[in-house]
Chains A and B, each alone.
Chain A
Amino acid sequence: MSAISLTINGRAHGPIEVRDDLSMNDFLREVLGMTGTKFGCGAAQCLSCVVIVDDPDGTSATNPTCVVPAVNFDGKSIRTIEGHARDGELTALQEAFIAHFAFQCGYCTAGFLNEAQVLLERLAAAPVARGDLEQTILEALDGHLCRCTGYVRYHQAVRDVVLADPARYLEAGSAP
């Protein structure tokens, strides 16, 4: 057993005693009751379980939770799907997912939302050329499995968020 402390969606949790082999996914879902993060395969293959890990250097990345012990997240700061909207106000990405009918059953949505949010933040820090946008989105989201939608509308939704604010996400002069 180990005691872990971490920050989730800006809020401090812990110290909480956990078994060393308890997965982060079970920590979130069974211990904290935060079931917005999904369990899909338990093998880090579908990525429906990813959360955003915010590093102290200001960068962020997604991380699967199903095959990673909770103790590995000790001291870390993470974001989950429950933390995107603030004061009931949806983010532009959440709005776009709804407006585009990006998901159907919605079970993969948490993973896509986290991955696309990280992408948007990365683009804000390091914009890409308009001509590279679709490939950039594909490379970022590929590997997240969705069985309902054929992915088209997720990709369109993310692209539209970028194109709605080209000054923020795209290299100057590259927007059409």
Chain B
Amino acid sequence: MQPSRREFLKWGTVSGILLSMTPLTGAQTTDFPATDFNELETLPGRGVRSRGAARGRVDGRAKVTGAKLYVSDFRAADMPGWPPETSHALLVRAPDATHVYQGLDLAALEPGAQPSVIVTAETIAKAGLRVPPFYAGDLFCPAGQTPLYLGQPVALLLFERFDAYDRARAAFRNGDLVRFGAETGPLEGPNYAALRFTRIAGLTPGAPDIYSPLQEGWISPGFQESSGRPVWKPLPVAEGGTYARGATYGEEIRAALAAPGPDLVVLDRAFETQSIDPMFLEPECGLAWFEPGAKTLDIVMGVQSPFEAAEAVAFLLGEARADIRPARIEARFAYIGGGFGGRDHTPFPLYSALAALFLPGRPVRLAHDRFQQFQGGVKRHAFEMRSQIAFDRASGRMVAFAGDHVLDGGGLANYSPSVAVVGATAAIGIYDIPRVDVTTLATHTRGVTAGSMRGYGTLQTLTALETLVDEAATELKIDPIELRRRNLLKTGGRTMTGNPWTVSVRTPEILDKLAAHPIWRERAARKAAGQGVLVGTGVACCTKDYGTGADCSLGRIELAPDGAISIHADAVEMGNGIGTSIARRVAAILGRTSDAVSVARIDMFDELGLVTTGDPYSMTQAEQDAAAKNPRWVPEISSATSASIGAHVGTQAAAQAARIVFRFGLWPAALALWGIAPGDPREFLFEEAFWQDSELILSGLPPLAQADVAAKAHEQGGVTGAMAHAFSRWAWAQAAFPLGGMDWAADIDALAIRRGAGGFTVLDRSFVFFPPTDYNRIGTSFTSSCGTAVRVEITPSTGAIRIANAYSVFECGEVLVPELVEGQAQGGFAMGVGYALLETLPPFEDGPGNGRWNLGDYVVARASDLPLHQLQIEVLPPVSPKEPPKGMAEVVMIPVVPALLNAIFDATGHRFRSLPVTPAMLKEVLP
């Protein structure tokens, strides 16, 4: 991660600007009645007229009736208190990064298509703006310079009327209005990250590691060649001793791989993956209004990381010239039409803010069209990988692995360092390998900036690994599933950073499921029976971390006297059904489906008074220890939402708050209703009690209606509301709070409660344990696993490939909403098919940065590309009824890709080592 120090000092004030953050709720259109999707999202079956059963998503009704929900739905007229007219902004980007940018040919625009204001590098240079460190690089390419990357913005054109904007937009799309001069070639830039992960296990099982990143820290070479590439070998110089120590071990592994004895089988293979676009269906959009009189910037955004986006806008403007510096920013967050990581830490909101600042007094809408989204949206990193793996010939055990990854990070750093780390530390997948050495290099290029996308890093390196293991099985003449089974990393075993996984490890069961599935068992018979088509079967099994090493959750629960429950949480809805998931998790604790749940609410937690300093990824232990003395301090207040951590992180604080309401509100009330006096041994049997049909059951006692217990809790002045903050750095922060005459410990680090109908009061923690900062050396600790089996049929004359049958089996602890989990797996399968067989963006001048890419050229999976009725999804039951939910939305995509490649090998006898595998490529290798 970016080791940048945050400027954040006090909740609510960033860069000296007062910041308020609220979700944008559905608006009424003037002509057509919208739905009742308003202040609070209403759960199906509560307060809505529905002929169906009380099932479905909290946002279901709004989404099938066309309610205004998404950021691109809103105009100024939809915003209460705003001027009615919407102005429009056009962000012009450079389609060239090898020639000097010379300005815009605005004379080519018709008179009715001229912008009112033109914002360029020169404009903002005089405005005192600061680019947030995460987005370091020029916001606009100045005239007279070569753009840093393809798609770099060169100007923001502001139009008071839609028609002028619309005509200018068409003119820019259809003509060469961005002028370039002399050829310079691409600009060089420093690499974004160069890291090496080496582990040498102890000589006997269970012995301490001889060398590991966990023990020694992460290392990076300090020297580079004239080309800018790092020198990976340890140099005989005095400096860089820490690097030299690790690299010496790494080079030993490589030397052994280069000269294997007869007892070893070594494979040495290259693999390339392509750049793709997240292709969320709603292009990025924003709406903003700067009132110079009130010095307020109102901004509506659609992002996965609302807190970060608002903070970035405030940082941008913190030291701006007085006339364009707001004293207050009102950030509002709308629903997003897909994310997949591509709306996490995007620079788009910065440009949206600039559009408003330079057309003061007028609400301005900035919206990408699809060409612009391809040209400017973050991409998945293309990887070049070399993998070497050694097996003991007799046992089939993996004994050593070396990998070298080079990532194309494109024009700005964005998430490149993180993607490099995640890819590298995932590189040995589900396996236990005692000697591992992986180098990774994230490079700057003139390509479109690459950033976060579902399964980042891991998707690339595990595709290379799982096809390599399949090839090794052929070489060793061992069944591919059996070979995997012999090499599994078991519970308690150490990953390649030297730490164990701290969650359930279910890969043995997943492999058993794959082996027993008809797709696998019938593979030979199906292959033999192919009529006019080549039939092949493939499997793969992968694991994927969930969480980032600094994940936060905010949750607030309120219980009414009639038992009704309302929930507020900071997580963002991106299609993953986070509101529905939180509601289900809380319902299991409080005995009733929530009556209202509201997400993206970072404005509902003021009573916690949270304060943060430092960067949770790079702070020292001493800094953390000192800061933690302040009972309001937490390492981070709110973090980005991704579908994969929704269940695990997004629901955590709300679930913990619900437990406190149960334990100190409902449980004492139940005791009173049952007539159980203090001192009775049943007083502390709260863990034994459970809900059934909204009745609280404790063996041997009459069931209690949830509403009666809630009424009693209010009557007694028990805890009827709780708001909590949770923080995870590969383990939850834990704290104790004075409650019920004891110190109540929970996996949260801040808590406020309300009693009866009173207001919320913050509680000082009597004890707190934040996960040590050394945990930042962990690669993966929370992980979930998925296996996929596929059968393909390939038509030799055309190379056409059909997926005849598919099966994915995975685990995710407690399943909160089965339909959402299954839906993520179905969607992940489709995205895996697209990555393996369909989608690609060429680098550089022919790629999306040229502004000419759209759907049509870029092909994502359609229904007819998928085995809609032949895709079986199976979720393993949790290891125990109390196993918490685990993230699953990323891992379900990953094994699909190598399983398809392995099936293609089985069908054709050819191993493809680059993606995507197209019919033309298949035809070429077939007789």
Contacts and interface: CB of A to CB of B under 8 A. Distances in A.
Interface of A: 9, 11, 19, 21-22, 26, 30, 32-43, 45-46, 48, 80-82, 84-85, 88-90, 92, 94-101, 103-110, 113, 134, 138, 141-153, 155
Contacts of B371: 42
Q: What 4 pairs across the A-B complex have the smallest Cβ distances?
A: A36-B66, A107-B337, A105-B575, A104-B575
Given A33-B78, A82-B65, A84-B65, A19 B163 contact: yes
B827 A149 contact: yes
B491 interface: no
Contact of B855 (A46, A103, A153): A46
B823 A80 contact: no
A81 B13 CA distance: 41
A45 B55 contact: no
Given A98-B60, A105-B575, A145-B855, 19 more contacts: A21-B167, A45-B854, A90-B50, A90-B51, A98-B55, A103-B575, A105-B282, A106-B59, A110-B66, A142-B864, A146-B281, A147-B279, A148-B575, A149-B827, A150-B826, A152-B866, A153-B819, A153-B826, A155-B863
B827 A104 contact: yes
Contact of B68 (A11, A35, A97, A148): A35
Interface in B146-188: 162-163, 166-167, 170
Contact of A33 (B31, B44, B340, B861): B31
B777 to A, nearest CB: 35
Main secondary structure of the interface of B (DSSP, over half): loop
Contacts of A41: 370, 854-856
B279 A98 contact: no
20 contacts: A26-B162, A30-B162, A35-B70, A36-B65, A81-B65, A82-B65, A90-B65, A97-B64, A98-B56, A101-B819, A105-B280, A105-B335, A105-B336, A107-B70, A107-B280, A147-B279, A148-B575, A148-B823, A150-B871, A151-B866
Contacts of B216: none
- Which one of B52, B75, B335, B827 has the greatest number of beta carbons of chain A within 10 Å? B827
Contacts of B827: 104, 147-150
A31 B157 CA distance: 21
A104 B337 CA distance: 9
A84 B61 CA distance: 12
B196 interface: no
A38 B547 CA distance: 32
B868 interface: yes
Nearest to B576: A104
A113 B64 contact: yes
Contacts, number: 214
A149 B280 CA distance: 12
A116 B86 CA distance: 34
Interface string B37-57: 000000010000111110111
A145 B281 contact: yes
Interface of B: 29-33, 44, 49-53, 55-57, 59-61, 63-70, 72-75, 77-78, 86, 162-163, 166-167, 170, 278-283, 335-340, 369-371, 574-577, 819-820, 823-824, 826-831, 854-856, 860-864, 866, 868-869, 871
A81 B64 contact: yes
Given A88-B49, A109-B64, A82 B282 contact: no
Nearest to A35: B73
B819 A82 contact: no
A98 B49 contact: no
A141 B862 CA distance: 10
- Which one of A92, A96, A107, A141 has the greatest number of beta carbons of chain B within 10 Å? A107
A142 B864 CA distance: 6
A145 B61 contact: no
Nearest to A146: B281
A134 B75 CA distance: 40
Contacts of B73: 35
Contacts of B65: 36, 81-82, 84-85, 90, 94
A43 B68 contact: no
Contacts of A37: 66
- Which one of A105, A142, A144, A152 has the greatest number of beta carbons of chain B within 10 Å? A105
Contacts of A35: 29, 66, 68, 70, 72-74
Nearest to B73: A35
Contacts of B819: 100-101, 153
A33 B30 contact: yes
Nearest to A154: B863
A88 B166 CA distance: 35
A95 B50 contact: yes
Contacts of A107: 70, 280-282, 337-338
Contacts of B868: 134, 138, 151-152, 155
Nearest to B858: A45
A39 B283 contact: yes
A101 to B, nearest CB: 4
Contacts of A45: 854-856
A157 to B, nearest CB: 10
A100 B818 CA distance: 11
A133 to B, nearest CB: 11
B856 A138 contact: no
Nearest to A101: B819
Contacts of A43: 370, 854-856
B58 to A, nearest CB: 10
A41 B52 CA distance: 34
Nearest to A32: B31
Contacts of B29: 33-35, 82
B338 A148 contact: yes
Contact of A150 (B68, B162, B279, B828): B828
A112 to B, nearest CB: 10
A108 B280 CA distance: 10
A136 to B, nearest CB: 13
A99 to B, nearest CB: 5
B852 to A, nearest CB: 11
Nearest to A113: B64
A149 B299 CA distance: 30
Contact of A34 (B31, B283, B336): B31
A81 B66 contact: yes
Nearest to A141: B863
A98 B281 contact: no
Given A149-B826, A151-B830, A89 B280 contact: no
A33 B85 CA distance: 12
Nearest to B873: A152
Given A42-B371, A88-B49, A150 B829 contact: yes
A78 to B, nearest CB: 13
A34 B66 CA distance: 9
Contact of B575 (A22, A106, A153): A106
Contacts of B336: 105
